[in-house]
Structure 1
């Protein structure tokens, strides 16, 4: 059989296999079912369900989604879910049945969520992408992706639904935490690194998985920050901003892409032929698989209302270029009938099925569809991977304010650790996280206690309040704990923790307690959009009570979107923005608080003074206006901002040559010196402004960055190469152009703090 001959070219193998398939088998390859619904796991044994077996025998199934996933949505708990070994064994049972009982023995594609680690019990929980972006360390992120791919493939997962490449435009959006930030250039650098890390040198390696880029496109620009809301965006901005990271990732070799739920100018992305066929397949020459988000085809008939019924919705989607449907409901119910009735050409079915088969061949599934349970048990959640999670968390935490109270001394003094996020493990993991045993997650309280383990009496704790609850029952106990301390560490913020059945917190003791009336603290995550960026519940009131004690207050924000609290910005002695720092976050925060790590994280989203300023992202036009009646339009903390325990100076900014042709290059150099008393890491940022253009342009655009470590008194010359890609923009005809003229080059520590010189571009 040619398709089973690994020496034959993949295209030939795909064509041969497709020619052997029935119509039902072709449709089957386009269907992805929910994997956790295909089996029962009891007493350490996996039993496949009869419905799943029947579907395999009658026509086959192309893929399973979330086979190894556990969370409240799936209903799979820590007690009923699969361990690393059991997960690998479950995948092997599924693949064995498929190979033995389907007519052609086509292996299953196992798709998993992996935006900040594999979403499975026992896997390493890394910080959320918003923190990953804040590291400005692409190499470190690439290493994380290699680890994630290793853990996922070890259990039998072969394709992942990451990276998320949405450009954040309104941080009230609950999925802000899943994104790298508000800048397309930075996201593009992380996008390429993600593909390189996840897919590795060879897609069929036992340590590689296919990357699925999502959500294509403009999902982060929805109306009012509401999830999946309409997008009002011109073609130029779409091409230049929101599509840019996807283009970079496609160029890096991504094998799969997922259209977004939203519509753009009235056309849903799921059925947008211009986006999927003309741009993605045509202009970008993308030859991978296009898979829908869950329920997206159904939305065409029930939500967007561009289709009269399910069959029309399915036909619209496959005509536009969709190859596989996550959930499989619409394709499984309607495609066969659409072809037999003549409503859909079989050639379109062949085209989609061929791309699914091609991906399976490229992943090496026909040669090795099975996982190695011993390897899964050995590598998943290893101590080395936990160490990497701690390093990443420490690099992405941003020091927003410090009046000298940090770093804390280990030599003496009592610390009061207060706040709803001081000892709430799930609150620091973010959305798209599987349940974890408490021993695996280090909270802020854990981290500080570990630092001062020789003197446990120096640490006092009280939760004070919950995230969303308006009860002040715990205030007096928090004040009592803080009154006897020298410094207050106040862990505030948000929560993207879904109901994992962990119970509630006793506001008097801080202990977990079982209750039948659990108050959900979730105020962020998918589907949790907000009208405000203020702290939820009574957290601000707690800060005011503690401030009255007159003691130094260090605020640690643990959250998934920017927080706008000007009073706290003014009154706190120091502020750390830790985002959701993952399983090792408490240790990483303590490392920074006590000076074992010098903070080097920098903001990738602007933090406004008030939600009324939105949009406040830095990539605004010069014509956007100056101020409101109440305040100017500048954010509280600008894009690229972050403090250190040392100081850096910038001098001798140059561009050589200072005049270039449109196809030329210039080397921009700057000298950076550590002028402080301790070693530190600086993020050197390059911005470019096109001073005069035929189409209005942003005031500044990030076009390069370098992260460098310097000892006290050490200097380093940092160089950037500026070329046509950095100077061009989408012109009047919607094609890239470089106009002769003057460009301002800015290099510095954030978008509002740069040295500036001019670069001239002249005609030939």
Structure 2
């Protein structure tokens, strides 16, 4: 910041940080950089209360305070904390205060500890509000709704005494074999960037205002960078990326998050072109700080610094490499505890330690955790019950708006007296299948399955809902109107499973998605394609005399619950209607029931490509060259691609205009709402995502299609509307044209299943 434009408050903070860093001993500085302790080991329930453990006191005494405490409230199969042993929701603020007071008392300067919690899609704590997974959020194409949901979760986190939330937001789903696909918003960098910015704005407020007011938490966005490009979809493996693709694809969301004010970023496990991300000074210092002006902290992923020992041979060298590259705060590492010894070997590390300590303390200053803070970083007083209810309501809204209708068939099938629904499939009555990875144990009333939700919705109307285990026989289907088959996958893990030292799956598991659960086969797991074929045969075997109302065989509706893009060829070949839900969260069963019966319509659109087979992946919508027509045994690589999906009414493209403005383009798109057929006439509005796709020409670089702008539109059947989208110049045209090249852009407007392309020049010349 130029000297003349510095605000007095900024100068005062910097002066305070100068004095504080100068007054700390080397041991205290290193302590500020360590986040070694697993937080659930810091406190234990005793009778009706809680006490800090000897392990916690030893760690605080060792450093004369504490930099950060991870997972104080984490509850899941790995931590072993549940409703009998974990911190109860109503007690979290009390326990956080217990920790805060102990750390401040041990610090010679009264510096508090950062309380850091996992919140990839809601708080991973008992009773913590859970949202649909990121892949579902991407399907909603609704940054405003997501920002509102993130704000609600953030408010509850801060009310519970949390300061930083670790939130997945930066990974692109570039290979569906990767187990962490569910943590990605999209395969597209622009959609991901819009949602990353919405997340930061929602949790932290504009210019971090909610953080400073004690009403929100700081965000640590993970993971930087390129983790979704791991070779073969293998978790944490090398990303073979050049600087162009790294910047254009995998850094776009990170830049959007930094521009929105994110207080932290997490360095990823993987390497890029052989250099581990957390030892990549060009990335963590050159790009992040020097080029982008990032002023927050960089955290290592769990045990990631210790993994450098395999390369460098010694913990001190591993710590020095990460520190020198720009890592400020470790996570569970032993190597960072050796930084004092590393300084003995290389006194020049003193400066790097001071710089990292200063960055950690600057974040603490934002959160009121320095010694002269009056409130000691205490959150603003909020009603946590109201906050939780609001967060769950928004979770259900996101779940409803994220489901993707791949085939409409007879839907919606309205409830009516005497109708009979049969629900079957391996995930029909499993509420845990709706949740995704990184979730706490839920009480029975915190989530309902699809079968339970349908029963609750249809019973008051006099309809019968029968849950049939296994493959229903024709006799089970007598008189049925609709058969709902709930298939797909789960990330649910049991306490008796094996876990790696970072909490990832490390052995046999019932999960087929989640961290540590990469898959080589993208067909539905456990032979579910065969299940659907057998069910189709039984449905077809129902004779006319035993059919449901209307005298026809039952409709077969497939509800696919998933955390990755499966090969759904078998599902689409078998079912009359297909509804896809990406782990929609604890209220997902209710949302899906509402969509099936027509209380609402599906408005989700794919944020990823659905592959036509395992052998064609990776296959992305924005490849430089299309994968279609390449494989002789699989000429079509995709079953459906980004933007696909339909509703119970349609939006048609009437026409569009483009004009140059401020060097960029303004695109005006005229649309028309249209009614659609089906078992029940939908009388509500139609919704669609209007997209502007550009493919720039004029430089030597072989460009790819880019999602330059998008917006949702809602119109009633017969109603017209105009959607205005702006494409900035740097997204519309190449910045550095090659000599004699014709600078122009192929611009495509996409509305639902219809698209139109034109070629435009910087002056927005008419179509050629």
Calculate the TM-score normalised by the size of structure 2. Answer: 0.90
Residues 505-544 of structure 1: matches in 2 within 5 Å?
520-544=509-533
- 1:38 corresponds to 2:42: yes
Whole-Å separation in 2 of the counterparts to 1:211 and 1:310: 29
Q: Residue 509 of structure 1 corresponds to which residue in structure 2?
A: none
Q: Residue 761 of structure 2 corresponds to which residue in structure 1?
A: 760
1:380 shift after superposition: 4.9
- 1:277 corresponds to 2:285: yes
- 1:335 corresponds to 2:339: yes
User: Larger deviation: 397-406 or 178-187?
Assistant: 397-406
Whole-Å separation in 2 of the counterparts to 1:732 and 1:358: 42
1:8 shift after superposition: 7.8
Q: 1:365 aligns with which of 340, 365, 369?
A: 369
Whole-Å separation in 2 of the counterparts to 1:380 and 1:87: 14
Q: Residue 394 of structure 1 corresponds to which residue in structure 2?
A: 400
Whole-Å separation in 1 of the counterparts to 2:460 and 2:495: 34
1:373 shift after superposition: 11
Alignment gaps of 5+ in structure 1: 465-474, 503-517
Whole-Å separation in 1 of the counterparts to 2:139 and 2:168: 16
Whole-Å separation in 2 of the counterparts to 1:433 and 1:763: 50
Q: Residue 264 of structure 1 corresponds to which residue in structure 2?
A: 272
Q: 1:720 aligns with which of 720, 725, 730?
A: 725
User: Larger deviation: 645-654 or 583-592?
Assistant: 645-654
- 1:701 corresponds to 2:706: yes
Cα deviation code 1:701-720 (max 9, x no counterpart)? 11111112111211100111
User: Larger deviation: 482-491 or 144-153?
Assistant: 482-491
Residues 56-95 of structure 1: matches in 2 within 5 Å?
56-59=60-63, 60-95=65-100
1:6 shift after superposition: 9.5
User: Larger deviation: 412-421 or 181-190?
Assistant: 412-421
Distance 1:182 1:386, change over 3 A: same
User: Larger deviation: 216-225 or 737-746?
Assistant: 737-746
Q: 2:484 aligns with which of 489, 513, 518?
A: 489
Q: Residue 467 of structure 2 corresponds to which residue in structure 1?
A: 461
Q: 1:747 aligns with which of 738, 746, 749?
A: 749
1:375 shift after superposition: 4.0
Whole-Å separation in 1 of the counterparts to 2:532 and 2:274: 45
Q: Residue 245 of structure 2 corresponds to which residue in structure 1?
A: 237
SS in 1 for 2:426: coil
8 Å CA contact retained: 2:343, 2:349: yes
Whole-Å separation in 1 of the counterparts to 2:740 and 2:575: 47
User: Larger deviation: 319-328 or 335-344?
Assistant: 335-344
Alignment gaps of 5+ in structure 2: 1-7, 498-506, 541-553, 676-681
SS in 1 for 2:196: helix
1:181 shift after superposition: 0.6
User: Larger deviation: 543-552 or 586-595?
Assistant: 543-552
Whole-Å separation in 2 of the counterparts to 1:267 and 1:760: 40
Q: Residue 322 of structure 2 corresponds to which residue in structure 1?
A: 317
User: Larger deviation: 546-555 or 215-224?
Assistant: 546-555
Paired residues in the alignment total 720
SS in 2 for 1:356: helix
Residues 2-401 of structure 1: matches in 2 within 5 Å?
9-32=12-35, 33-59=37-63, 60-201=65-206, 202=209, 203-302=211-310, 305=311, 307-332=312-337, 334-342=338-346, 344-366=348-370, 367=373, 368-369=375-376, 371=378, 375=382, 377-382=384-389, 384-401=390-407
Cα deviation code 1:31-56 (max 9, x no counterpart)? 11221111112323211112321332
Residues 396-435 of structure 1: matches in 2 within 5 Å?
396-435=402-441
Whole-Å separation in 2 of the counterparts to 1:396 and 1:437: 25
Whole-Å separation in 2 of the counterparts to 1:486 and 1:13: 71
Q: Residue 467 of structure 1 corresponds to which residue in structure 2?
A: none
Whole-Å separation in 2 of the counterparts to 1:565 and 1:711: 32
Distance 1:744 1:411, change over 3 A: farther
8 Å CA contact retained: 2:657, 2:668: yes
8 Å CA contact retained: 1:338, 1:344: no
Whole-Å separation in 2 of the counterparts to 1:745 and 1:574: 33
Q: Residue 572 of structure 2 corresponds to which residue in structure 1?
A: 569
8 Å CA contact retained: 2:654, 2:671: yes
Whole-Å separation in 1 of the counterparts to 2:294 and 2:377: 28
Cα deviation code 1:177-232 (max 9, x no counterpart)? 01101000111111111111111141222221111121110000000000001111
Q: Residue 472 of structure 1 corresponds to which residue in structure 2?
A: none
Q: 1:450 aligns with which of 428, 450, 456?
A: 456
1:643 shift after superposition: 0.6
8 Å CA contact retained: 1:429, 1:581: yes
Residues 473-488 of structure 1: matches in 2 within 5 Å?
475=471, 481-488=476-483
Whole-Å separation in 2 of the counterparts to 1:483 and 1:180: 42
Q: Residue 672 of structure 1 corresponds to which residue in structure 2?
A: 671
C-alpha RMSD of the superposition: 2.5
SS in 1 for 2:647: coil
Cα deviation code 1:662-699 (max 9, x no counterpart)? x613321111111116312111111112245411011x
8 Å CA contact retained: 2:652, 2:751: no
Calculate the TM-score normalised by the size of structure 1. Answer: 0.90
8 Å CA contact retained: 1:89, 1:371: no
SS in 1 for 2:308: helix
Whole-Å separation in 1 of the counterparts to 2:103 and 2:68: 11
Cα deviation code 1:346-389 (max 9, x no counterpart)? 1111111011011000112243346579846434532x322211
SS in 1 for 2:144: helix
1:57 shift after superposition: 2.6
Q: Residue 544 of structure 2 corresponds to which residue in structure 1?
A: none
Whole-Å separation in 1 of the counterparts to 2:626 and 2:445: 53
- 1:684 corresponds to 2:690: yes
Whole-Å separation in 1 of the counterparts to 2:68 and 2:555: 55
Whole-Å separation in 2 of the counterparts to 1:265 and 1:519: 32
Distance 1:689 1:411, change over 3 A: farther
Whole-Å separation in 1 of the counterparts to 2:40 and 2:737: 50
User: Larger deviation: 27-36 or 450-459?
Assistant: 450-459
1:292 shift after superposition: 0.1
1:343 shift after superposition: 5.5
SS in 2 for 1:530: coil
- 1:643 corresponds to 2:650: no
1:566 shift after superposition: 1.2
Distance 1:619 1:423, change over 3 A: same
8 Å CA contact retained: 2:674, 2:686: no
Whole-Å separation in 2 of the counterparts to 1:312 and 1:621: 41
1:627 shift after superposition: 2.4
Distance 1:631 1:731, change over 3 A: farther
Whole-Å separation in 1 of the counterparts to 2:411 and 2:612: 24
